[in-house]
Amino acid sequence: MSLGSVPVIENVITQGNCDDTSPAPLRLLKQYKAPLIYVDNWYQLYQLLKEEAQLSLDEKVERRTAVIKWYSHFKRKMSQHFIQIIRQHFFSS
């Protein structure tokens, strides 16, 4: 789900591999402060849609731009991190 190009995701732990002993779901997104809208349940979506409808065009454009910039930065950081791990595991003496 997306509101004005800002992803909306459910912030819950589900049964199965996302239990209390494993790292929290969405940990990576939260660690890197992803500009997402988190909901605890989908019943909050109606109120969220009403609030989002009140935003000005400038506010929507600003938020969309922030999402694009964040994602670009996030991909670069993940790429650098991945390369660093490969170097440590395969090319260090």
The residue extents of the domains of the chain are: 2-91
Looking up tokens 């940990």, which residue turns up? Answer: 27
Task: Identify the DSSP state of 66.
Answer: H
pLDDT at site 16: 65
Higher pLDDT, 47 or 20: 47
Give residue-wise pLDDT tens across range 54-71.
999 999 899 889 999 999
The confidence band for 78, taking pLDDT boundaries of 50, 70 and 90, is very high
Q: Give the distance between the most distant pair of CA atoms in the chain.
A: 58
Torsion-angle region of 33 (φ positive above 0: left; ψ -120 to 50: alpha; else: beta):
left
Give residue-wise pLDDT tens across range 23-33.
677 888 889 99
Sign of CA dihedral 36, 40, 45, 50: negative
The confidence band for 73, taking pLDDT boundaries of 50, 70 and 90, is very high
Torsion-angle region of 19 (φ positive above 0: left; ψ -120 to 50: alpha; else: beta):
beta
